[in-house]
């Protein structure tokens, strides 16, 4: 696992970019991020979980997608979004208000806190999703081992973990294009829209140097999760993994 002593100041980064986060996401993924979250939510709901944690929920897009899909199948579910950025959570709560205007019967909670020390009992959640968040918890993060141990602790044995994340493309040609895009376009465009070039340099470089599906699965296997399903999306720039806690 790639660990370094000096961590990027992620907390203040998300505090700075929360207002433009969704807009930049849509632009950078050519609008595809919504369909990836939809697909990840569908996978997570297959096991019909009762209590679900959306770790690193950010502005709540994945959690609200889970809520929407649950609503359609009229199953009761308790969804908790957890994140250490109060600014990102405020954006999520605004969306929650819009969503719940339609009197939907899904329980939704947002909680602020650090993934390295979560206020939940052992085995509390049936399932967990983490979309574009695991990179933050493990890449060049000196608390990586702690984060992974907490993820495993709060999940029940046999529960499913769904991970959606950037990935290193397998095709050499696409890897070159992807690398160019991440190095020369994303940081500057993101910096321009959000006003924070440094933050988008980190985001681009962590995406570019991130893991392949096999590397990610290995890290999670060591943390106690066995791979059930893996899918490569967007020509391999994005991975969707479904794992089961041992």
Ligand X SMILES: C[S@@+](CC[C@H](N)C(=O)[O-])C[C@H]1O[C@@H](n2cnc3c(N)ncnc32)[C@H](O)[C@@H]1O
Cβ-based nearer residue to ligand X, 12 or 171: 12
Min separation Cβ 15 and ligand X, Å: 8
Angle between the N-to-C axes of helices 33-45 and 21-28, in degrees from 0 to 180, rounded to the nearest 10: 100
Which residues here bind ligand X, judged by CB under 6 A?
A: 10, 14, 56-58, 61-62, 83-85, 88, 114-116, 131-133, 136-137
Helices (DSSP H) in 1-132: which residue ranges? 10-17, 21-28, 33-45, 61-73, 86-100
DSSP alpha helices (H): ranges in the chain?
Answer: 10-17, 21-28, 33-45, 61-73, 86-100, 134-138, 144-153, 172-180, 186-194, 197-208, 213-222
- Closest residue by beta carbon to ligand X: 58
At a CB cut-off of 8 Å and minimum separation 6, what does 45 contact?
A: 66, 69, 70, 73
Query: How does strand 155-166 pair with strand 78-83?
Result: unpaired
By C-beta, is 158 or 195 nearer to ligand X?
Answer: 195
The tokens describing 92, both together, are 């999520």
What is the nearest approach in angstroms of ligand X to the Cβ of residue 117? 9
Q: Measured from the CB of residue 32, what is the shortest distance to ligand X in angstroms?
A: 13
> Please, which residue, 142 or 171, has the CB nearer to ligand X?
142
In the complex, the smallest distance separating the C-beta of residue 116 from ligand X, rounded to whole angstroms, is 6
**Smaller CB distance to ligand X: residue 71 or 114?**
114
* Nearest distance from C-beta of residue 157 to ligand X, angstroms: 23
CB nearer ligand X, residue 61 or residue 160: 61
């Amino acid at each position: 696992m790639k660990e370094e002593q000096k961590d990027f100041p992620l907390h203040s980064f998300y505090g700075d970019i929360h207002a433009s986060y969704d807009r930049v996401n849509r632009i950078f993924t050519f609008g595809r991020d919504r369909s990836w979250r939809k697909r990840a939510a569908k996978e997570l709901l297959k096991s019909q979980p009762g209590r679900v944690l959306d770790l690193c929920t950010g502005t709540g897009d994945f959690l609200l997608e889970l809520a929407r899909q649950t609503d359609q199948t009229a199953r009761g579910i308790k969804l908790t979004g957890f994140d250490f950025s109060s600014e990102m959570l405020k954006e999520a709560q605004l969306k929650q208000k819009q969503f719940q205007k339609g009197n939907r019967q899904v329980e939704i909670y947002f909680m602020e806190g650090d993934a390295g020390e979560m206020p939940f009992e052992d085995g509390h959640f049936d399932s967990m999703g983490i979309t574009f968040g695991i990179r933050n918890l493990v890449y060049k993060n000196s608390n990586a081992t702690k984060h992974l141990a907490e993820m495993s602790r709060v999940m029940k044995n046999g529960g499913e973990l769904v991970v959606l994340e950037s990935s290193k493309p397998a095709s050499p040609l696409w890897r070159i294009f992807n690398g160019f895009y991440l190095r020369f376009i994303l940081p500057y465009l993101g910096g321009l829209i959000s006003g924070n070039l440094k933050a988008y340099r980190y985001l681009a470089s962590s995406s570019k140097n991130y893991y392949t599906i096999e590397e990610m699965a290995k890290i999670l296997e060591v943390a106690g999760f066995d791979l059930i399903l893996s899918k490569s999306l967007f020509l391999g720039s994005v991975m969707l993994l479904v794992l089961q806690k041992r």
